Amino acid sequence: MTDILEITDLEVTYQRSILALHGVNLRVAKGQITSLLGANGAGKSTTLRAISGFIGLDNARVNAGRVRFRGEDITGLQLPRTIHKGIVLVPERDKVFTNLTVAENLEVVATSREEGSKWQQIEEEIFVYFPRLAKLRNKPAGLLSGGERQMLAIGGALVCRPQLLLIDELSLGLAPVIVDEIIERLREVHAKTELSMLLVEQSAAVAFALASYGFVLENGKVELEGATEDLRSNQKVLDLYLGTGSTGRADYLANARRRFEERANV
Amino acid sequence: MQIVANIVVLTSLYALVASGYVLVYKVSRVLNLAHGELMILGAYLLVATSAGITSDPLIAIALTAVFSIIVGLSVYLLLMREMTGQPVLAAVLTTVALGILLRGAMVLIWGPQQLNVASMLSFENASVVLTDSIRVSTASLWLVICTVVVYLGLLAFLHMSRWGMRMRASGQNPLLAAQRGINLHTVYALAWTLSTFSGSIAGVLVALDSRLDVNMAVIGLKAFPAALVGGLDSLHGALIGAGVIAVLEVLLIHYVNPLLSDVVPFLVLIAILIVRPWGLFGTKEELNRV
């Protein structure tokens, strides 16, 4: 199986000094859904942003390591060039244009290669994946619920015609019923398009429901990786991300406290 | 009834100038404090065109419109582009510096004396008798027409065209716009160009209606309260804000004291900043936003 994305020893610093990732290694297989699990501050979002491209405002920099996309070195490539390569991110926060309607949110997306006539067709395609959005077509996105926003954000990203879709925190803050619905929709999208995806999650349940392979990130490093079935039976993952077992949780908290104190000492 | 006509004309002027503030602010959150100078520069461009290229008023005005587009684009590409990604305060201060520079340059090139642009173009600014009791000058009539056309055009552009939507989207969430492949530089350049264009139209028509000198840039400053009263990021808000300022100004001049005319807009500005800083129709922003 070929990898569409390959990251080796990636190091990212913020504001020239704060090390957010120290040597991350991960791969996304073509046509597969891969998950990236980790707690708050583990570096998941930074990893995604490093792939999809920082902008000047971020004040972040790739210090070392390589990002290869479809065999091509794209390390440090900035927006909007990463988009043109086919890498599209669904961000964690502020993921829709709240002052635009649902339809406008889809239309606004850069589709330079698409003809104007094709446009309606693309929009309808998104509404087939997310029928709920079709009914909300003319509603301002600012009035949507969290789940509807997530669907619209994924829809908007799909309009960009990605080769690789990055989703930051798919399930965070959403009701379980909505999460189930979104998982179902994403499965349909994947079944139809075989789109490669990298999914960042805090919930192992959601990650395992969608992904076939997973990585676990801790303190800016990949601690663990494996096929979903293997991870599912891994005691450490069970402890940390499925909320079973009490010793793991306690370990985790002790770890977190140590990390906090380290930072305070710096 | 003449008073109503005066209010309409003044509303048009403020609204046309205010639309320039709104466009740039709405899209890039930058307050362009050089807008008054850019507006007057439009009038001086007409002077230059009529003196150097053609004396036909219509062709001269059309050429001026083209030049104002070039000016707007250059201001973004040469100056404001560098400010993208910098703190907003830096960008605003840059516009202040630009305004002062432009003012100085205009005095150096065209001199401090008043110019009679209408006579240079042999444009006869005759009074138009609308009814028995209402007269307005030809230039004022054009001002009202242009304002209506510019507003209808801008609203249609912002809401119906893809690039208009992109401008609204970029103003609301620039990071997401970039992540969706929207080229922010193109969007910002478009905003500056449109803003300078509409400002120049206002400048040209004001200069045709009276005389032209550099101090008329203060009209830009007086239109600023109009934009703020309506809400800096709302186009129809600017129209209503312009109406509020114009009504107060005309009524006070008429019934109280003409000297109040320069003060009233700023009194309204202070009042609205205290009561409702985001204006009548603007977006209420979180002030501690990073």
Least confident among A20-34, A88-102, B60-74, B260-274: B260-274
User: What is the rounded CA–CA span in Å between residue A74 and residue B208?
Assistant: 56
- Beta strands A72-73; A60-69: pairing state: antiparallel
User: What is the rounded CA–CA span in Å between residue A130 and residue A185?
Assistant: 7
- Smallest Cα distance from B85 to chain A, Å: 5
- Partner residues linked to A214 by β-bridges: A35, A226
Residue A1 pLDDT > 70: no
At residue B286, the pLDDT reads 47
Q: Are B26 and B232 in contact (CB under 8 A)?
A: yes
Residue A244 pLDDT > 70: no
Least confident among A105-109, A222-226, A247-251, B217-221: A247-251
**Tokens 């600014």 correspond to what residue?**
B125
Of A56, A80, A95, the CB nearest to B181: A80
- Partner residues linked to A26 by β-bridges: A7
Amino acid at A121: Q
Residue B51 pLDDT > 70: yes
User: What is the rounded CA–CA span in Å between residue B103 and residue B84?
Assistant: 24
Q: Counting every residue, how long is chain B?
A: 290
Report in angstroms the alpha-carbon separations of A216 from A45, A183, B249, B285: 13, 20, 66, 38
Q: Of B251 and A237, which is predicted with more confidence?
A: B251
Q: Is B179 on the interface with A (CB under 8 A)?
A: yes
Q: What is the mean pLDDT of residues A224-244?
A: 80
Q: Is A261 on the interface with B (CB under 8 A)?
A: no
User: What is the rounded CA–CA span in Å between residue B284 and residue B286?
Assistant: 7
At residue B288, the pLDDT reads 37
Least confident among A6-10, A68-72, A90-94, B129-133: B129-133
Q: What is the mean pLDDT of residues A143-152?
A: 95
In percent, the amount of chain A with pLDDT more than 70 equals 86
At A264, the pLDDT band (50, 70, 90 cuts) reads low
Interface contact flag, B178 A56, Cβ < 8 Å: no
Which secondary structure element, helix H or strand E, spans residue A73, and what is its range?
strand A72-73
Q: What is the mean pLDDT of residues B151-161?
A: 95
pLDDT averaged over every residue in chain A: 86
Report in angstroms the alpha-carbon separations of A50 from A21, A29, A93, A103: 10, 18, 17, 29
User: A3-233 belongs to which CATH class?
Assistant: alpha beta
Of B85, B176, B181, the CB nearest to A94: B176
Q: What is the dihedral of CA A41, A46, A47, A50, to 10 degrees?
A: -170
Q: Are A4 and A85 in contact (CB under 8 A)?
A: no
Tokens of B28: 């890039």
Residue A187 pLDDT > 50: yes
At residue B85, the pLDDT reads 76
At residue A121, the pLDDT reads 79
B175-198 confidence digits (pLDDT tens): 999 999 899 999 999 999 999 999
Q: Are A74 and A85 in contact (CB under 8 A)?
A: yes
- Smallest Cα distance from A109 to chain B, Å: 6
Largest CA distance in chain A: 60
A12-51 confidence digits (pLDDT tens): 988 877 888 888 999 999 999 999 998 888 889 899 999 9
In percent, the amount of chain B with pLDDT more than 90 equals 68
In percent, the amount of chain A with pLDDT more than 90 equals 56
Tokens of A236: 């450490």
Angle B16-B85-A59 from CA coordinates, rounded to 5°:
165
At residue B108, the pLDDT reads 96
Of A56, A91, A96, the CB nearest to B85: A56
Residue B289 pLDDT > 60: no
Pick the closest to residue B272 from B238, B163, A261 (CA basis): B238
Residue B161 pLDDT > 70: yes
Mutation target vs B (from A97, A107, A115; most B CBs, 10 A cutoff): A97
Mutation target vs A (from B162, B175, B176; most A CBs, 10 A cutoff): B176
Q: Is B26 on the interface with A (CB under 8 A)?
A: no
| Residue A125: partners with Cβ closer than 8 Å, 6 or more residues away | A158
Q: Are A44 and A203 in contact (CB under 8 A)?
A: no
Q: Is A109 on the interface with B (CB under 8 A)?
A: yes
Tokens of B54: 């053609």
Which chain A residues contact residue B84 at CB under 8 A? 56
User: What is the rounded CA–CA span in Å between residue B192 and residue B285?
Assistant: 23
Interface contact flag, B175 A84, Cβ < 8 Å: no
- Smallest Cα distance from A153 to chain B, Å: 10
Q: What is the mean pLDDT of residues A198-210?
A: 92
At residue A114, the pLDDT reads 55
User: What is the rounded CA–CA span in Å between residue A126 and residue A193?
Assistant: 12
Burial readout B1-33 (b: 16 or more C-beta within 10 A, e: otherwise): eeeebbbbbbbbbbbbbbbbbbbbbbbbbbbbb
At A245, the pLDDT band (50, 70, 90 cuts) reads very low
Residue B287 pLDDT > 50: no
Total CB pairs under 8 A between chain A and B = 72
Q: How far is CA A63 from the centre of its chain?
A: 22
At A112, the pLDDT band (50, 70, 90 cuts) reads low
Pick the closest to residue B283 from B160, B159, B168, B138 (CA basis): B168
Interface contact flag, B175 A97, Cβ < 8 Å: no
Of A91, A99, A112, the CB nearest to B179: A91
Q: Which of A84-88, A233-237, B115-119 has the highest mean pLDDT?
A: A84-88
Residue A248 pLDDT > 60: no
Q: Is A92 on the interface with B (CB under 8 A)?
A: no
User: What is the rounded CA–CA span in Å between residue A38 and residue A25?
Assistant: 14
Pick the closest to residue B204 from B11, B54, B6, B57 (CA basis): B57
pLDDT averaged over every residue in chain B: 91
At residue B261, the pLDDT reads 83
E-assigned strand segments in B24-167: 127-129, 135-137
Torsion sign across C-alpha atoms B146, B45, B206, B117: negative
Amino acid at B175: L
Residue B46 pLDDT > 60: yes
Interface contact flag, B176 A52, Cβ < 8 Å: no
Which chain B residues contact residue A162 at CB under 8 A? none
Interface contact flag, A104 B85, Cβ < 8 Å: no
| Cα nearest neighbour of A107 on chain B | B162
Q: Is A78 on the interface with B (CB under 8 A)?
A: no
- Smallest Cα distance from B183 to chain A, Å: 7
Q: Are B55 and B122 in contact (CB under 8 A)?
A: yes
Which chain B residues contact residue A56 at CB under 8 A? 84-85
Q: Is B153 on the interface with A (CB under 8 A)?
A: no
Region for residue A94 given its phi and psi (left: phi exceeds 0; alpha: psi -120 to 50; beta: otherwise):
left
Interface contact flag, A55 B182, Cβ < 8 Å: no
Q: What is the mean pLDDT of residues B72-98?
A: 92
Pick the closest to residue A182 from A161, A155, A202 (CA basis): A155
Amino acid at B4: V
Interface contact flag, A110 B165, Cβ < 8 Å: no
Which chain B residues contact residue A78 at CB under 8 A? none
At residue A247, the pLDDT reads 52
Residue B27 pLDDT > 50: yes
